Structure 1
Amino acid sequence: MNQNDPFAGLPSVPAFTVTSTSVRAGEALPAAQLSGVSGVPGGEDRSPQLSWSGAPEGTRGYAVTVYDPDAPTQSGFWHWAVANIPADVTDLPEGAGDDSGSGLPAGAFQLPNDARMARFIGGAPPAGHGPHRYFITVHALDIPDIGVPAEGTPAYLGFTIASHILGRATLVATAETPASSSPSGV
């Protein structure tokens, strides 16, 4: 497993708390958060429930990202990116990242992930590639509207919010596909 830290090159910011009734830190993603689209049996591509608290004073909005730095690419794999979550929102229901984004608060929107779908796509590590880490992160921002176009990429969102992050809350889950399985891998 690649031990790269996706936040190593970013400015240090205070941490706050994110929890989930869907996903547990350090544990394997449940079937609901695995990718049926990518061929994982029982995968549902359902975004996890998230709740957060303790964001820094001055928070005016949030962004949420789900990133796998262990994907067999030179840039990892972005599974989900949500921009412009209002500052008074402190949770997202499971499944908020469906095709329509119907569970997202007014004003928030999903950017296309690395599969080019504006929705959550679940984990699907290539068979036999080893464990992958999924960094589920809530970014507290000093502005309510980041000004990223809806067709932008999660990497562009990350670049744009970098100088606006007041705090970061991260939960890391894992997934691994045995060598005897054959999902397409993301």
Structure 2
Amino acid sequence: METRRELIGAATLFVGAGCLGDGNGNRNGNGDGRAGPSVSSPAFDAGATIPTKYTCDGEDVSPPLRIRGTQDAVESLALVVDDPDAPSETSFVHWLLWNVPPDTEEIPEDIPQEQTVAALDGAAQGTNDFGEIGYRGPCPPADDGPHTYRFTVLALDTMLDLDPGADRETFQSEADPHVRGETTISADYERQ
């Protein structure tokens, strides 16, 4: 019997095969071959374990992220952090952030749980699946094995006319038509 991780891996490959982009987790929404900006974190490597500091078992603060290679035509950036391994019908949202200036190269650690982020020129934060504004870290059920957490940066061709506090469905309906590229860094966390 296949494990949940094997099934999710196969689903990711299947979905990824239908996306436009460069095959490295980047997707281009307009078909012109431009990939999304690259994203990394000085706090963890892709595929590694997220440090406890950024989870419910630690300080539960947002990790720092680095963004590079944003295209000139991009008007804003957005960030979605989710857990596709969560025991629900859809992935569990840990963070929604949008209207980040396109020239942003770093999202600092410990973004306050407020509707707007002064350090990012008033970027807006949405409501996560804990029912709170801003970032809440990995907190999978104990003894459920490792969960994968995806940090996805979206390059948009507009600033979103969306009030802070919006949920994922509302965010996606506004953002999806404007995505011009995206890239994801994933890392794991497991509670014993």
TM over 0.5: yes
Q: Which moved more, 1:101-110 or 1:62-71?
A: 101-110
Instruction: Name the count of aligned residue pairs.
Output: 170
Paired position in structure 2 for 1:91? 106
Determine what percentage of the aligned residue pairs are the same residue: 31
Structure 2 length normalisation: TM-score?
0.80
Asked whether 1:23 is paired with 2:38, we answer no
1:47 alignment partner AA:
S
Pairs within 5 Å for 1:113-152: 113-143=128-158, 145-152=159-166
8 Å Cα contact 1:80-1:154 kept in structure 2 = no
Q: Deviations over 1:53-91 (max 9, x none)?
A: 112331110001101011011112100010111112221
Inter-CA distance 170–22: structure 2 relative to 1 (3 Å threshold): same
Structure 2: runs of 5 or more not aligned: 21-27, 29-34
**Offset of 1:21 from its aligned partner?**
0.9
1:107 counterpart = 2:114: no
The amino acid that maps onto 2:100 is: I
Matched, 1:76 2:91: yes
1:47 counterpart = 2:62: yes
Aligned partner of residue 171 in structure 2, secondary structure? helix
Query: C-alpha distance in 2, partners of 1:147/1:8?
Result: 29
- TM norm structure 1: 0.83
Distance 1:17 1:46, change over 3 A: same
Native 8 Å contact 1:130 1:177 kept in 2: yes
Kindly report the root-mean-square deviation, in angstroms, between the aligned alpha carbons of the 2 structures.
Answer: 2.1
Q: Please list every run of at least 4 consecutive aligned residues from structure 1 whose deviation after the TM superposition is greater than 3 angstroms.
A: 4-7, 100-104
Q: Secondary structure at the match of 2:49?
A: coil
Q: Please state whether the residue corresponding to 2:67 is helix, strand or coil.
A: strand
User: Which residue of structure 2 lines up, in the alignment, with residue 181 of structure 1?
Assistant: none
Establish whether residue 5 from structure 1 lines up as the match of residue 20 from structure 2: no
Asked whether the 8 Å contact 1:92–1:103 carries over to 2, the reply is no
Q: Secondary structure at the match of 1:133?
A: strand
CA deviation vs aligned residue, 1:1-58 (integer Å, no higher than 9, x gap): 34143993885312431111122210111011111xxxx3xx2111111111112331
**Partner in structure 2 of residue 184 of structure 1:** none
Secondary structure of the equivalent of 1:5?
A: helix
Structure 1: tracts of 5 or more residues without a match: 179-186
The answer for the alignment partner of 2:76 in structure 1 is 61
Question: Is the 2:83–2:148 contact (alpha carbons within 8 Å) kept by the matching residues of 1?
Answer: yes
